[in-house]
């Protein structure tokens, strides 16, 4: 009997794994053949990938309904990361293919990154750095420097990462509030922060808005022109979730018009930034969809994906299924 086949699909433009797939092979061992493929889109899926019994796919490689129809033997598609909006989960469900993610890796890193962006904005670290390097200073941005204990930190989405972010913000002295319509009552008491019952209520109180929700039809452009207008004047916006949760044209316009004091965006709609005008938006800190990154988090993520893929090809119970197929 031939060995089961696990295909790892990495993004050709900026591969994230290693050519040897060493972490995955160490976990899967001799239980399956492991192959690695560099693709730009699912139009690049070849016959070898199409015959795989399980697929591990990195975050920048989209897998659409058209690509999923090519899969002949696949039991599970494992998204190497938390988000799974790059995979057509409905199309996979129609073909009885489970879609799994890795929701718990990188929790610390993303929470740390969100707080790092918030602190850089509240304490104006980058403008101060630029001024200091002019070999003298007047602290021109002094009016934007804020005392954390006077500020309200507003969180949208109190899942794993949102909770970790809330605890860090609370420890730094922020007053922390959150909005999450899907959490049961009592979540606020467990963490020791204040719950609000509407997005509007959160926005009108918030000095630092931090987004920690998935991207779906409900949350796409959750923050757009109306919401930015409702947001407390002089507020900062931080996004380490998914880019399209914030409408790009709306937040860039808010920065240019000085309706908000600054934004820290690890993710941005239609990333990366597409023009000099976008990159030059005032008081914008942009990082490279890298909040999840650390040596430790990538090992954890790849190890979990490999473990799920191994379960898929050996008939064991799958972890972290997001589309209802067991």
Find all residues with CB under 8 Å of 303, minimum gap 6, and list them: 23, 27
| Pick from 312, 255, 259, 307: nearest CA to 284 | 255
Tell me, yes or no, if 226 is annotated catalytic. no
Check if 289 is active-site. Answer: yes
List the catalytic residue out of 59, 242, 300, 302. Answer: 242
Tell me the three state secondary structure of residue 177: strand
- Assess whether 221 carries a catalytic annotation: no
Contacts of 71 (CB under 8 A, 6+ apart): 50, 52, 55, 95, 97
Helical residues (DSSP H) of 87-136, grouped into ranges: 89-94, 107-122, 125-132
Match 């039991």 to its residue by tokens: 75
> Concatenated DSSP letters for 5-37?
EEEEEEETTS--S-TT-HHHHHHHGGGSEEEEE
Compute the distance between CA of residue 242 and CA of residue 250 in angstroms, rounded to an integer: 15
Active-site annotation holder among 36, 37, 168, 289: 289
Residue from 131, 201, 225, 271 carrying the catalytic annotation: 271
Q: Which residues have a catalytic role annotated?
A: 242, 271, 289
């Amino acid at each position: 009997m031939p060995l089961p086949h696990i295909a790892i699909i990495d993004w050709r433009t900026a591969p994230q794994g290693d050519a040897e797939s060493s972490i995955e092979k160490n976990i899967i061992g001799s239980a399956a053949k492991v192959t690695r493929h560099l693709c730009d889109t699912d139009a690049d899926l070849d016959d070898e990938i199409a015959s795989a019994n399980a697929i591990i796919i990195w975050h920048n490689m989209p897998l659409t309904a058209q690509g999923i129809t090519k899969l002949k033997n696949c039991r599970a598609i494992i998204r190497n990361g938390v988000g799974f909006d790059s995979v057509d989960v409905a199309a996979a469900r129609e073909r009885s293919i489970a879609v799994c993610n890795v929701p718990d890796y990188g929790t610390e890193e993303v929470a740390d990154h969100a707080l790092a962006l918030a602190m850089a904005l509240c304490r104006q670290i980058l403008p101060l750095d630029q001024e200091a390097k002019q070999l003298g200073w007047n602290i021109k941005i002094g009016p934007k420097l804020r005392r954390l204990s006077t500020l309200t930190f507003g969180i949208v989405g109190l899942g794993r990462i949102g909770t970790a972010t809330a605890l860090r913000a609370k420890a730094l002295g922020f007053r922390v509030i959150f909005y999450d319509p899907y959490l049961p009552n009592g979540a606020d008491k467990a963490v020791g922060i204040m719950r609000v019952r509407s997005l509007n209520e959160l926005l009108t109180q918030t000095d630092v808005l931090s987004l920690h929700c998935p991207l779906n039809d409900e949350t796409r452009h959750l923050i757009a022109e109306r919401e930015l207008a409702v947001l407390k004047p002089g507020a900062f916006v931080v996004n380490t979730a998914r880019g399209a949760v914030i409408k790009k044209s709306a937040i860039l316009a808010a920065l240019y018009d000085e309706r908000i004091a600054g934004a820290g965006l690890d993710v941005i709609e239609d990333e990366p930034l597409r023009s000099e005008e976008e990159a030059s938006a005032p008081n914008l800190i942009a990082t490279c969809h890298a909040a999840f990154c650390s040596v430790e988090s990538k090992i954890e993520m790849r190890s979990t994906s490999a473990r799920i893929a191994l379960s898929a090809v050996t008939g064991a119970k799958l972890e972290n299924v997001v589309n209802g197929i067991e």
